[in-house]
Amino acid sequence: MTTIHGQAHINDGAPVPATLTIEREHVDVTTRWERDPDWTHTDSAGHFHAYDQDGKLPTLDKESTPAPCDGTCGGACGGEGYTHTTYRCGLCREVVEPQIRPGRRKTIPGRYDIEIVVDTHVDRGHASFRFLDTNGKLLAFGFAIAGSSRGGGGPDGIWSQTTLNPSRLGLAGRLAESVR
């Protein structure tokens, strides 16, 4: 979770203290197996083979052969069989087995939620907003639904806060970079 303190302008009003919070979902894309980027092999004819930077095998030809179901999958293939893959050197045709390794944990950024809490009362309904960081740089703008409000009083006087939930959102500056 990222929290940024700054100020907001609601419906082009005077700036009010505000806090913008971003909660980012991370999607697990870990695979059971992955290519071993450190694998290299020289075949009996002296031809060098390895994965390139994109995980491809430029010196090997891939041959895919359909095979009937032999029951070893325990019925997982639904009787459709499987595909047997063989890699051969593009020059001498020797069979080469590229190495794989157990997959390492990997996540990618997923969807995100943004909430803005402003130190003022905002009537329920839609409002236009601009959020600026403490240096006055625009980070977010758009339309938001004014949600819950809370307030109270104490020795420092009366206070009020409203939660804004953006419905149409534009991101700018470092905030736009951080959610990519």
Whether 92 has a pLDDT exceeding 70, the answer reads yes
Whether 158 has a pLDDT exceeding 80, the answer reads no
Instruction: Give dist(CA 135, CA 132) in Å, integer.
Output: 8
Token look-up 């997982």 returns 76
pLDDT interval class at 113 (50, 70, 90): confident
pLDDT interval class at 175 (50, 70, 90): confident
Which helix (H) or strand (E) element contains residue 162?
A: strand 157-171
**Phi/psi at 176 (nearest 5 deg)?**
-60, -40
pLDDT interval class at 105 (50, 70, 90): very high
Whether 79 has a pLDDT exceeding 70, the answer reads yes
pLDDT at res. 150: 81
- What is the rounded radius of gyration, in angstroms, for the C-alpha atoms of the chain? 28
Higher pLDDT, 154 or 16: 16
pLDDT at res. 161: 86
Higher pLDDT, 76 or 43: 43
Digit-coded pLDDT (tens) for 16-62: 999 999 888 989 999 999 999 999 999 999 999 999 999 999 999 99
pLDDT interval class at 180 (50, 70, 90): low
| Measured CA distances, 154 to 55, 85, 118, 161 (Å) | 63, 74, 19, 14
Burial class (CB in 10 A: 0-12, 13-18, 19+), 10: buried
